[in-house]
């Protein structure tokens, strides 16, 4: 899921012109506690307390889904037309769904910062395990990502700073490369990590990628 954190309130309010319609996202922003029903309602109360009129609110299943955003816009057409600003409490992808669907004349404000792709450890802990590098090395590193979990992103490790299996950058962190070695021994894939990894091909991480499916799809 995409992890987000709320922007500073004054930063959001400064961008708002006129009255507001608030969109939330019922999946990632809900789990991040930045834009689910509860946070959308809290934002409504805060804005009204600052004398900013809120025309309406709507939490979409997934703000990153263009068709769902189109439907939400259709369902709220009248009330949206009264709003001077549409405030979106979802990741940058969701904000741009709104930008893509709503007319260019409507001011759209993002209420959160998009932080990382996170694994859900439990309801109060989200952990970054993949940085979406576009050139995955997990098959060579025992299924553990050095790009994300080693603070230096080393493809050949561990570095000389590893001490007592801990990371030199943060002694509370296990060294990612120790974990990679340990798991590779268990998996009998140690030969893979003994090869010197070549510099990563970041050219495959093209900006603004689009993945198109072929054949039947949902
Ligand atoms: S190498 Fe790491 S950052 Fe890159 S795609 Fe694989 S898991 Fe994600
Ligand atoms: S100690 Fe391990 S995890 Fe930390 S920077 Fe060095 S190789 Fe990476």
Q: What is the pLDDT of residues 115-172, one digit of tens each?
A: 999 999 987 899 999 999 989 999 999 999 999 999 999 999 999 999 999 999 999 9
38-73 per-position pLDDT tens digit: 999 999 999 999 999 999 999 999 999 999 999 999
Q: Is the dihedral of CA 13, 14, 18, 20 positive or negative?
A: negative
Q: Distances from the Cα of 52 to the Cαs of 49, 65, 105, 111, 129, in angstroms?
A: 7, 28, 20, 15, 39
Distance 174 CA to ligand 2 centre (A): 8
Distance 176 CA to ligand 2 centre (A): 6
In whole angstroms, how large is the CA radius of gyration of the chain? 22
> What are the tokens at 106?
């409507």
| Distance in angstroms (rounded) separating the CA atoms of residues 131 and 114 | 13
User: For the ranges 88-92, 102-106, 108-112, 201-205, which has the lowest average pLDDT?
Assistant: 201-205
Pocket of ligand 1 (CB under 6 A): 130-133, 136-138, 145, 147-148
Return the pLDDT at 214.
74
Distance 144 CA to ligand 2 centre (A): 13
Q: Sheet harboring 112-122: ordered strands across?
A: 2-6, 112-122, 125-128
| Distance in angstroms (rounded) separating the CA atoms of residues 147 and 157 | 11
If one residue of 117, 148, 156 were mutated to test the ligand 1 pocket, choosing by the most ligand atoms within 8 A of its CB, it would be: 148
Return the pLDDT at 147.
96
pLDDT at 204 over 80: no
Burial class of 172 by CB neighbour count within 10 A (0 to 12, 13 to 18, 19+): exposed
How many C-alpha atoms does 161 have within 13 Å on its Cβ side? Answer: 13
Q: Does residue 154 have its Cβ closer than 6 Å to ligand 2? A: yes
147, 153 in Cβ contact below 8 A? yes
Please state the rounded mean pLDDT for residues 181-193.
93
Return the pLDDT at 93.
97
CB under 8 Å, gap of 24 or more: what pairs does 121-125 form?
A: 123/31
With a CB cutoff of 8 Å and minimum separation 6, the contacts of 167 are: 150, 151, 161, 173, 174, 175, 176
Average pLDDT, the chain: 93
66-96 per-position pLDDT tens digit: 999 999 999 999 999 999 999 999 999 999 9
If one residue of 116, 145, 202 were mutated to test the ligand 1 pocket, choosing by the most ligand atoms within 8 A of its CB, it would be: 145
Domains and CATH numbers, the chain: 2-116 (3.40.50.2300), 132-204 (no CATH)
Return the pLDDT at 203.
74
Report whether the peptide linkage leading into residue 158 is cis, meaning its omega lies within 30 degrees of zero: yes
Return the pLDDT at 199.
86
Q: Does residue 147 have its Cβ closer than 6 Å to ligand 2? A: no
Q: Binning pLDDT at 50, 70 and 90, where does residue 211 land?
A: low
Return the pLDDT at 201.
78
One DSSP character per residue, 68-100 reads HHHHHHHHTHHHHHH-SEEEEES-HHHHHHHHH
């Amino acid at each position: 899921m995409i992890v987000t954190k709320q922007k500073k309130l004054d930063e959001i309010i400064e961008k708002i012109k006129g009255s507001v319609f608030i969109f939330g996202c019922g999946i990632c922003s809900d789990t991040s506690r930045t834009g689910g029903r509860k946070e959308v309602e809290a934002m409504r109360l805060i804005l009204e307390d600052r004398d900013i009129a809120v025309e309406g609110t709507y939490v979409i299943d997934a703000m990153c889904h263009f068709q769902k955003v189109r439907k939400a816009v259709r369902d709220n057409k009248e009330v949206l037309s009264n709003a001077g600003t549409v405030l979106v409490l979802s990741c940058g992808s969701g904000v741009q769904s709104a930008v893509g669907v709503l007319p260019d004349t409507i001011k759209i404000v993002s209420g959160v910062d998009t932080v990382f792709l996170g694994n859900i450890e439990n309801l109060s802990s989200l952990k970054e395990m993949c940085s979406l590098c576009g050139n995955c090395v997990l098959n060579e590193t025992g299924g553990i990502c050095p790009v994300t979990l080693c603070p230096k992103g080393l493809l050949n490790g561990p570095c000389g700073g590893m001490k007592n299996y801990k990371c030199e950058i943060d002694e509370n962190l296990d060294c990612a490369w120790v974990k990679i070695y340990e798991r590779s021994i268990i998996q009998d894939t140690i030969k893979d990590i003994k090869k010197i990894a070549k510099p990563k091909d970041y050219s495959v991480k093209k900006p603004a990628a689009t993945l198109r499916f072929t054949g039947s799809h949902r």
